[in-house]
């Protein structure tokens, strides 16, 4: 595997800095007390108090789920190889207010600000991981962070997918990297996090196999010579940008040192005037679709050039957020009874394609609330509103949650939750305007109104709930591969159960979801989704070797799944092929020696049985056959 330049600099960084860590005085209420711990937080310094830290997962649980999509979306449909387009099979329609270009079915391979992790750790922290499998599949990741000065920490995350694929023209070559920095003053009155991120997705597009029967009847065991619909098409997606978030605590902190210098300083706040915050977020995005043979017969139309297709879209967005909250100094142990935030966001956006360009200038007031009026009750809420003179004027997003603790004992800790969300959103730019060699449209769609009501119960290892969506003016890509808007309201009902159970050395974890659309002509979903993981845990050699072996099962009921159109990077309705109704099974063995984890996985084991094959997640894109995967993950400090 060719080593990208950013990976070279990552390895050089680790070599130069991993030997020396600058000592400093740690604040127990801010940094983890365990010097070997690696915990992280997200970009919520404008509001979070206490600081919300998450433990870095070093267990064997779900370690075999190495695929970036499976880690984020349990129920998904993809094109049959790591790194290719995918969609969520569990219905979701939420998005933030403001400019939005359109659905992105490669988003799991791009860095997004709400998922970037900032580590709080005493010692230098490094993790390296690698997965290899059939069809020259290779997945690599590296993470490193350490303190280079007393108050400054630097880090880098790098991830790479390079997979040839089982069929012709199915290769993916995706990589993403983020360089991070965090700074907190000695008394925590000022804090800053910043990053530069860069992601690139390069995928070959084959349009699916020509004759499904060749695969389904196993007429050609050598999948690499089965004919495909496109022989030279490719999609390239790029995203890069910078982000900075900083806060300043308006109230000072008075510190009195005790006689015992080893003890923690006594700290108390005289006045509380809250926290001022500012964030800057700049993103550059580009899509490029190329095909040197557009006259192959795959496309319905050729509007511009019959000798070569080169379609590109470029858009960028600059956001500045200013806010005030009554959040106190960051603390991991002292939740505030009432947290309020008010702010204003200024958003500049620009879109450019072959037909021209558009610009948008938006102001968005926003607010947030978290209130604990009683130890048994928590209330949360968010709202934002668009002020502008264009089509986005009047867009809003509101959400609220009420959580009631009905059982408080640890063994039966149970919460009852009620949530409401309401959105009024302009059509994404992609649905309104698109100009390319094979697709041209210019629409004037109305705003989509979505209301969602949720009720769910949570326990320590269980979640049971239901969602009801009511959507007006829903947008989708119809069977003619053109955007369409529903003329009537559509309702979606979802009910789900997720449960984990341990019996001796056996662990069981699974979830089942039922969803029903009032109009399957508009929103097409599998009614039933289910997954189950069963494992047997065994410690060997006096605990020096931990093992976790078992199997993963996944199922979705048959339905007319949306097909993939690479020229618009989107899924569209089709009425010819019903897929689903099969069980996909993986068998795995995970084991851990000290700080190193390994796994072996037999993928799609049931494909060895029987003479017919029907393992599709997307029409005309078979899933991979039986294959062996191996992966390891090495974590070390100092």
Which SS3 state, helix, strand or coil, does residue 527 take? Answer: coil
pLDDT of residue 288: 97
Model confidence band, residue 331 (pLDDT cutoffs 50, 70, 90): confident
pLDDT of residue 466: 98
* CA distances, 44 to each of 118, 187, 192, 244 (Å): 11, 19, 11, 12
Model confidence band, residue 35 (pLDDT cutoffs 50, 70, 90): low
What average pLDDT does this structure show over 2-24? 45
Phi and psi at residue 435, in whole multiples of 5°? -140, 115
Question: DSSP class of residue 447?
Answer: P
Domain membership of residue 262 (yes or no) is no
Q: How many CB atoms lie within 10 A of CB 430?
A: 23
Model confidence band, residue 34 (pLDDT cutoffs 50, 70, 90): low
Q: Distance from CA of residue 535 to its chain's centroid?
A: 26
Whether the Cβ atoms of residue 300 and residue 286 lie closer than 8 Å to each other:
no
Phi and psi at residue 516, in whole multiples of 5°? -140, 130
pLDDT of residue 400: 98
What average pLDDT does this structure show over 41-55? 84
Locate 597 and state its tokens.
Answer: 């984890």
Domain membership of residue 622 (yes or no) is yes
Model confidence band, residue 407 (pLDDT cutoffs 50, 70, 90): confident
Model confidence band, residue 3 (pLDDT cutoffs 50, 70, 90): very low
Q: Does pLDDT of 9 surpass 50?
A: no
What does the pLDDT look like over 62-84, one tens digit per residue?
999 999 898 889 899 999 999 99
Q: What angle do CA 631, 508, 602 make, to 5 degrees?
A: 30
Q: What span, in angstroms and rounded, lies between the C-alpha atoms of 238 and 199?
A: 6
Concatenated DSSP letters of 235-280: EEEEEEEEEEEEEEESS-EEEE--S-TTSPPEEEES----EEEEEE
Average pLDDT along the chain: 90
Model confidence band, residue 429 (pLDDT cutoffs 50, 70, 90): very high
pLDDT of residue 27: 62
pLDDT of residue 49: 76
Q: What span, in angstroms and rounded, lies between the C-alpha atoms of 470 and 490?
A: 6
Domain membership of residue 258 (yes or no) is no
pLDDT of residue 271: 59
What average pLDDT does this structure show over 207-215? 96
Q: Does pLDDT of 4 surpass 60?
A: no
Model confidence band, residue 106 (pLDDT cutoffs 50, 70, 90): very high
Q: What span, in angstroms and rounded, lies between the C-alpha atoms of 324 and 341?
A: 6
pLDDT of residue 638: 64
Give the CATH number for residue 526. 2.40.170.20
Whether the Cβ atoms of residue 41 and residue 118 lie closer than 8 Å to each other:
yes
What does the pLDDT look like over 277-321, one tens digit per residue?
999 999 999 999 999 999 999 999 999 999 999 999 999 999 999
Q: Distance from CA of residue 408 to its chain's centroid?
A: 32
Which residue, 230, 353, 226, 227, is CA-closest to 294? 230
Model confidence band, residue 161 (pLDDT cutoffs 50, 70, 90): very high
* Domain ranges, residue 323: 5-253+268-637
Which SS3 state, helix, strand or coil, does residue 381 take? Answer: strand
What does the pLDDT look like over 480-522, one tens digit per residue?
999 999 989 999 999 999 999 999 999 999 999 999 999 999 9
Q: What span, in angstroms and rounded, lies between the C-alpha atoms of 6 and 310?
A: 28
Q: What span, in angstroms and rounded, lies between the C-alpha atoms of 270 and 445?
A: 55
pLDDT of residue 517: 96
Domain membership of residue 333 (yes or no) is yes
Model confidence band, residue 28 (pLDDT cutoffs 50, 70, 90): low
How many distinct structural domains can be found in the chain? 1
Domain membership of residue 263 (yes or no) is no
What does the pLDDT look like over 113-133, one tens digit per residue?
999 999 888 788 899 999 999
Model confidence band, residue 332 (pLDDT cutoffs 50, 70, 90): low
What average pLDDT does this structure show over 571-595? 95
pLDDT of residue 270: 55
Domain membership of residue 511 (yes or no) is yes
Instruction: Give 597's contacts (C-beta < 8 A, 6+ positions apart).
Output: 58, 60, 63, 590, 591, 632, 633, 634
Q: 3-state SS of 318-369?
A: EEEEEEEECCCCCCCCCCCCEEEEEEEEEEEEEEEECCEEEEEEEEEEEEEE
Question: DSSP class of residue 435?
Answer: E
Instruction: Give 368's contacts (C-beta < 8 A, 6+ positions apart).
Output: 47, 325, 339, 340, 341, 381, 382, 383
Model confidence band, residue 10 (pLDDT cutoffs 50, 70, 90): very low
Q: What span, in angstroms and rounded, lies between the C-alpha atoms of 286 and 273?
A: 43
Domain membership of residue 344 (yes or no) is yes
Q: What span, in angstroms and rounded, lies between the C-alpha atoms of 113 and 239?
A: 12
Q: For tokens 């801010």, what's the residue?
A: 30
- Using only the alpha carbons of the chain, give its radius of gyration: 26
What does the pLDDT look like over 526-535, one tens digit per residue?
999 999 999 9
Domain membership of residue 341 (yes or no) is yes
């Amino acid at each position: 595997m060719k080593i990208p330049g950013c990976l070279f600099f990552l390895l050089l960084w680790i070599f130069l800095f991993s030997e020396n860590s600058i000592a400093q005085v740690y604040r127990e209420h801010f940094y983890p007390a365990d010097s070997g711990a690696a915990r992280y937080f997200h970009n919520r310094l404008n509001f979070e108090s206490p600081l919300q830290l998450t433990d870095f997962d070093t267990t064997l649980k779900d370690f075999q789920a190495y695929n970036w999509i499976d880690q984020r979306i349990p129920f998904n449909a993809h094109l049959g190889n790591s790194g290719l387009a995918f969609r969520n099979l569990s219905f979701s329609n939420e998005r933030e207010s403001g400019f939005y270009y359109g659905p992105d079915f490669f988003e799991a391979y791009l860095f997004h600000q709400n998922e970037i992790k900032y580590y709080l750790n005493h010692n230098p922290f490094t993790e390296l991981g690698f997965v290899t499998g059939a069809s020259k599949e290779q997945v690599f990741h590296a993470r490193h962070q350490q303190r280079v000065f007393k108050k400054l920490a630097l880090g880098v995350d790098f991830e790479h997918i390079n997979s040839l694929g089982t069929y012709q023209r199915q290769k993916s070559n995706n990589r993403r990297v983020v360089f991070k920095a965090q700074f907190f003053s000695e008394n925590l009155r000022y804090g800053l996090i910043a990053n530069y991120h860069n992601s690139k997705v390069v995928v070959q597009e084959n349009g699916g196999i020509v004759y499904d029967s060749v695969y389904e009847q196993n007429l050609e065991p050598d999948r690499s010579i089965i004919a495909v619909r496109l022989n030279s098409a490719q999609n390239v997606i790029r995203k890069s940008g910078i982000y900075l978030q900083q806060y300043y605590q308006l109230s000072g902190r008075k510190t009195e040192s005790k006689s015992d210098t080893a003890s923690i300083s006594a700290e108390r706040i005289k006045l509380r005037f809250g926290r001022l915050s500012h964030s800057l977020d700049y993103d550059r995005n580009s899509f490029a679709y190329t095909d040197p043979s557009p006259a192959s017969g795959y496309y319905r139309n050729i509007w511009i050039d019959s000798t070569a297709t080169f379609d590109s879209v470029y858009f960028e967005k600059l956001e500045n957020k200013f806010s005030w909250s009554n959040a106190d100094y960051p603390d991991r142990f002292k939740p505030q009874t009432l947290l309020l935030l008010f702010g204003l966001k200024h958003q500049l956006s620009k879109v450019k394609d072959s037909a021209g360009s558009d610009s948008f200038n938006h102001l968005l007031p926003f607010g947030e609330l978290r209130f604990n009026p009683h130890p048994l009750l928590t209330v949360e809420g968010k709202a934002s509103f668009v002020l502008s003179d264009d089509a986005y004027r009047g867009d809003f997003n509101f959400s609220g949650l009420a959580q009631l603790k009905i059982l408080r004992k640890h063994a039966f800790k149970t919460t009852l939750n009620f949530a409401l969300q309401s959105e009024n959103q302009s059509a994404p730019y992609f649905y309104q305007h698109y100009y390319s060699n094979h697709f041209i449209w210019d629409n004037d769609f109305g705003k989509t109104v979505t209301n969602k009501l949720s009720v769910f119960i949570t326990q320590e290892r269980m979640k049971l709930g239901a969602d009801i969506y009511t959507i007006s003016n829903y947008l989708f890509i119809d069977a003619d591969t053109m955007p369409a808007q529903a003329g009537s309201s559509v309702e979606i009902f979802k009910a789900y159960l997720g449960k984990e159970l341990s019996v001796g050395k056996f662990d069981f974890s699974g979830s089942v979801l039922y969803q029903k659309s009032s109009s399957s002509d508009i929103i097409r979903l599998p009614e039933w989704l289910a997954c189950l993981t069963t494992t047997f845990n065994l410690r060997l050699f006096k605990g020096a070797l931990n093992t976790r072996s078992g199997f993963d099962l996944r199922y979705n009921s048959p339905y007319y799944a949306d097909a993939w159109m690479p020229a618009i990077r989107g899924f569209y309705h089709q009425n010819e092929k019903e897929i689903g109704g099969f069980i996909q099974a993986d068998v795995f063995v995970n084991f851990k020696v000290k700080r190193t984890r390994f796994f072996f996985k037999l993928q799609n084991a049931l494909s060895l049985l029987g003479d017919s094959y029907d393992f599709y997640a997307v029409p005309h894109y078979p899933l991979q056959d039986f294959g062996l995967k191996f992966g390891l993950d090495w974590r070390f400090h100092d």
